[in-house]
A and B are shown apart, each in its own frame.
Chain A
């Protein structure tokens, strides 16, 4: 009996949180993965991001330039491959956030449209 109590006391010491599933609040522990998960970010078509970490080899556009959809804007070198980064839309460039030779991380914003 004493040992049963011990088990229950151990359970009491844990820091329970509540988890809502189908309108029912459950008292439970959360996993590290769940607590540390990144919130979802909606993609913004006006922000061109690095799809892979790498180096900016060449930049063809600058602030204020009007570009057409499919126009080459810069070269991002990663994994020994030179990737042409093309404009996703017809638009005017608001800001170029990188310089030639810069190392960029994944999802870093490279170019913003107006």
Chain B
């Protein structure tokens, strides 16, 4: 055979392999608004950048007549490519081939590209669309999952790991996404659970649909397992590309710098956003947009624990991670969910050299039996741990209320914030004036002729004495009191002068965070 024939043979083999599960299976996939594995990869990567690996890998099943079956690529497409011109590794499970089920060869392809990503120090993107373990391969399928989880853990905090759930992801399979940095879901397409509706019905007699149990909305609003929610695959791919504009390629790099842009001040006027009355709400995201380049803010976990806002934005071209109490929702309290959400994000930013900007306006922690019983102590402690442990530049702006434990938790100087400023509207105190006055002046109020009148008077006294930033400023717990409109320049300056920051935790194997 000459080169021509051999080339023709290669092309024929390739044509066979890229057919995946065949036209019928592909039609089925498309009918429910899903793209094929290769289409998905091509939609995320830069045009013409994708190079596929292991196209000719054959599956390893030998029992139950599996050896007679041909499964193209063993149900997963892997390879390398670029996003915004930078290299990434990627894999996509192909539901059209044996339901995207994970056998040993399938797992080995994923493991190989994960190892490659870690060695090359580039991000890895995993697109999940699989019925789960390939039962016919028995314990080898489990071994495959285990090897993937182990690599997820090794890579954690070294290279960015992104999971995209574009189909079912059930049973053991869910733990790989859970171990990665960011999970993307699409409405009505993504389904994640440990035990599905069938099992729940037979074992427990409880009926629930897949969507209600582990649909995209459930994971975005209730469980917090996902970080980005989209209505279509296209929207999801757009979100992935945007995320990659904010993060560095590995833990030894910084995020790419972009040209500086001023905020759109006419639309987001910082002086007009916040009501002076600390009991009145506003959307803290408007404050963020009034500070950031081009008033852009890339929010993470928008629908989960909305009482705290987290996300990326750029300040003078540089990526910063924002953590802000949201007075619009639940008055901006810290609770179990919002603590988890904030703490994990702080640790992400710290691992990937992204400075932290904290905007503070919270009344404290949410009271409630459910909160206490859900372990708000250990969940709340995560925020303290994450801030204390973080060695990236930490900048805090106290806008309004900073009461009690909430004041300490929201990156105070005591947890080693590098710069803390407060607006003149700040109230930094051990608790809200109403509560404090009731305790300090208990006897005066009780013994007064008119207790209500006395209480009002004492609250007023306490307010004028403590509900301001100047007591904390007098102790040096805040570095400066600034006008709101000076906030951006304060942040630009603080980031500039902390660009050489080197800080280390005491040498240890690792800490024991209150997981």
| A109, chain B: closest CB distance, angstroms | 17
Q: Which of B449-489 contact A (CB under 8 A)?
A: none
A53 within 8 A of B: yes
A70 CA / B205 CA spacing, docked (Å)? 29
The reply to whether A7 and B283 form a contact with Cβ atoms under 8 Å apart is yes
Q: In the bound complex, how far is the Cα of B206 from the Cα of A40, in angstroms?
A: 22
Cβ-defined partner of B333 (8 Å) among A1, A21, A105: A21
| CB of B269 closer than 8 Å to a CB of A | yes
A13 within 8 A of partner (CB) = no
Contacts of B280 in A (CB 8 A): 27
Question: Is B329's CB under 8 angstroms from A31's CB?
Answer: yes
Q: Evaluate whether A26 and B329 lie within 8 angstroms (CB atoms) in the complex, with A11-B282, A31-B307, A105-B206 already known.
A: no
Check B53 for interface membership: any CB of A closer than 8 A: no
Which B residues are in CB contact (< 8 Å) with A103? 205
Given A27-B281, A34-B330, A4 and B367 contact (CB-CB distance below 8 Å): no
Q: Is the CB of A3 within 8 A of B434?
A: no
Verify A33–B204 contact, CB threshold 8 A: no
- Counting residue pairs across A and B whose Cβ atoms lie within 8 Å, the total is 97
**B interface bracket (residues with beta carbon within 8 Å of A):** 35 or more
Interface size for chain A: under 10, 10 to 19, 20 to 34, or 35 or more residues?
20 to 34
Q: Kindly list chain A residues whose C-beta atoms are within 8 Å of the C-beta of B282.
A: 11
Q: Does B21 count as interface, using CB distance less than 8 angstroms?
A: no
Instruction: Find out whether the CB atom of A40 lies under 8 angstroms from the CB atom of B205.
Output: no
Of residues 14 through 44 on chain A, the ones whose CB sits less than 8 Å from some CB of chain B are: 14, 16, 19, 21-34, 37-38, 40
Chain A: which residue is nearest B275 at the CB level?
A: A27
List the A side residues contacting B278 at CB < 8 Å.
24
Given contacts A24-B433, A28-B281, 6 further A-B contacts (CB under 8 A): A4-B269, A21-B367, A26-B279, A30-B330, A53-B204, A78-B203
List chain A positions with a Cβ less than 8 A from chain B: 1, 3-4, 7, 11, 14, 16, 19, 21-34, 37-38, 40, 53-54, 78-79, 103, 105-106
Residues of chain B touching chain A, judged by Cβ–Cβ distance below 8 Å, are 203-206, 221-222, 266-269, 272, 278-283, 286, 305-307, 327-333, 337, 363-364, 366-370, 373, 403, 431-435, 438
